[in-house]
Amino acid sequence: MNRREFLQNCAGVAALAAAGSPAALPPLRAAETPRKPKTNGIQVGSVSFVDEGTDKVLDFLQERGAVDTVYLTTFTYGRGLAGRQIPGQPFPDHGAQISDEKTFHGGNYATPHPEFYRDTVLKAAHAPDHGDLDIVATVLPAVRKRGMKLHCSVEDVFRFDVQGVREVAEVDLQGRRTGTLCLCHPDVRAFWSGLATDLCKSYEIDGILFFNERNGPLLNALGASHAQSIASSRVTCFCEHHQRAAKERGVDFERARQGYQALDRFVQAALKDQRPADGYFVEFWRLLVEYPEIIAWDRLFDDAKHQVLAEVNAAVKRVRPGLQVGFHIEHVNSFNPIFRATRSYADLATKADFLKVVMYNNCGGERYANFIRNVGSTVFRDVPKDELLRFNNHLLNYGAEAGLDELAAAGLSADYVFRETQRALAGVQGKCKVLPGIDIGIPTGSHSRKASPDDTYAAVVAALKAGADGLILSRKYSEMQLANLAAAGRAVREAAGG
């Protein structure tokens, strides 16, 4: 099958047709008949079960979405996975239609058992949002009765006022404590392993899905992600544990600090339009040549993050080898070639049973445009941003996506989902499962793409045609329209043969 035939076959062609002529691209593996997914999962926060009733929610998930696995948000202080619709966004056509911004708190929505947190100042306090309710104990029997599976989702998003956070927080370039946890800190590592062990020992669940979307200092300095601002003066982590880890591998702390200070000056000058004589890119690359410690220090962050992933995996397997461990692979892994270089699917596959790879195509347009604007304001400031987008599309092997001005409104295509699924499958080489994260109603700006049921259907078909092992409908049921959920379910049922 050639590219033209593929595009004709793949849903979502209409969006592509408006996007201009495709450049020459490396060949993709031909699209297959959509493959029956081994797993069709969905992310759900506790508030949906509380607001709508456990059985009613599970009825909707099974009947409309053909869902067989619940990824239940069990630990987080963030609103991406927990709580009702985020404030200011329209509510979907189910659930309470009142914002919970005054009552949302976060924490452990199950019951923390103190014996698992003896080695850490962090204690996984019970989330007070629904009183004493233990959401895992509540939902698990109902899920089991239906023959469905349940994984606990745990996310590295904290609040500054949580007990213990100050003691284990990262330290920034200026020596200030921040609100994020240092992944080199022994208490933090003990906490994640303790939490995973607690959940797997205390409940008969099927596994853990671990979320950590944080980046190292190099990417944070450049704002080289969709979601973040440029924060070159506040990069982390320079704490004593990081200094010790650096020393062990022969990385000079003082040189790293000087390198990040020089990077900060470069970024701030770029934002003021003060062009270096040799241009922005050359000046940036010269900094990396003069201070290789910049990359070495960034690597410390990635290594600590991956060590935590490996420790969580080991902790879960110690409870029961058959329990499944999955990692959420963040969206920046798709957009950013510098980030991609630090993430090897083959390596991640050695630490997990499955990877939930984010390929949210509807909100992806807005997010990708933000990323291009961020990197286009510093390192690539000399390049017109629309040309930078096209160049980056080539680096990433994206197809004919919309231009920069239209990208947020157009979203990314179903073809993008197909390509990113194939890339992940090629990367893991069968060593772990790939479950694409499919975007259903993830909030975007008022002029940005909102997923229609046809968009959802096309994205699911594209993932299954590319050979995905399953799906995880994201981010949370409390932001999804039922018609979109039904469109995903229809695509899954058709792939399963009716």
Site residues (vs Zn ion, CB under 5 A): 182, 184, 237, 239, 241-242
Characterize 305-315 residue by residue with b for buried, 16 or more Cβ atoms within 10 angstroms of its Cβ, and e for exposed: bbebbebbbeb
Instruction: Compare residues 182 and 486 and give the one whose CB is closer to Zn ion.
Output: 182
For 9, phi then psi, to 5°, come to -80, -30
Kindly state the smallest distance separating residue 214's Cβ from Zn ion, in Å.
Answer: 12
Kindly state the smallest distance separating residue 293's Cβ from Zn ion, in Å.
Answer: 16
| Pairwise CA distance, residues 35 & 75, whole Å | 32
Residue with token string 């599976």: 149
Instruction: Find out whether 402 and 387 touch, Cβ atoms under 8 Å.
Output: no
CB neighbour list of residue 413: distance below 8 Å, 6 or more residues apart: 12, 15, 16, 19, 361, 399, 400, 401
Instruction: Compare residues 247 and 394 and give the one whose CB is closer to Zn ion.
Output: 247
Kindly state the smallest distance separating residue 328's Cβ from Zn ion, in Å.
Answer: 22
Burial of 244 (0-12, 13-18, 19+ CB in 10 A): exposed
Instruction: Find out whether 367 and 227 touch, Cβ atoms under 8 Å.
Output: yes
| Pairwise CA distance, residues 409 & 226, whole Å | 16
Kindly state the smallest distance separating residue 242's Cβ from Zn ion, in Å.
Answer: 4
Instruction: Find out whether 128 and 46 touch, Cβ atoms under 8 Å.
Output: no
Instruction: Compare residues 11 and 165 and give the one whose CB is closer to Zn ion.
Output: 165
Instruction: Compare residues 80 and 217 and give the one whose CB is closer to Zn ion.
Output: 217
Instruction: Compare residues 184 and 442 and give the one whose CB is closer to Zn ion.
Output: 184
CB neighbour list of residue 248: distance below 8 Å, 6 or more residues apart: none
Long-range own/partner contacts, residues 254-258 (CB < 8 A, 24 or more apart): 255/291, 255/293, 256/291, 256/293, 256/294, 256/296, 256/297, 257/173, 258/291
Strand partners, 71: 43, 151
Longest Cα separation, the chain: 69
Instruction: Compare residues 66 and 251 and give the one whose CB is closer to Zn ion.
Output: 251
Kindly state the smallest distance separating residue 362's Cβ from Zn ion, in Å.
Answer: 36
Q: Compute how many other C-beta atoms are within 10 angstroms of the C-beta atom of residue 397.
A: 13
Kindly state the smallest distance separating residue 195's Cβ from Zn ion, in Å.
Answer: 20
Kindly state the smallest distance separating residue 244's Cβ from Zn ion, in Å.
Answer: 9
Instruction: Compare residues 241 and 331 and give the one whose CB is closer to Zn ion.
Output: 241
Kindly state the smallest distance separating residue 170's Cβ from Zn ion, in Å.
Answer: 5
Instruction: Compare residues 236 and 361 and give the one whose CB is closer to Zn ion.
Output: 236
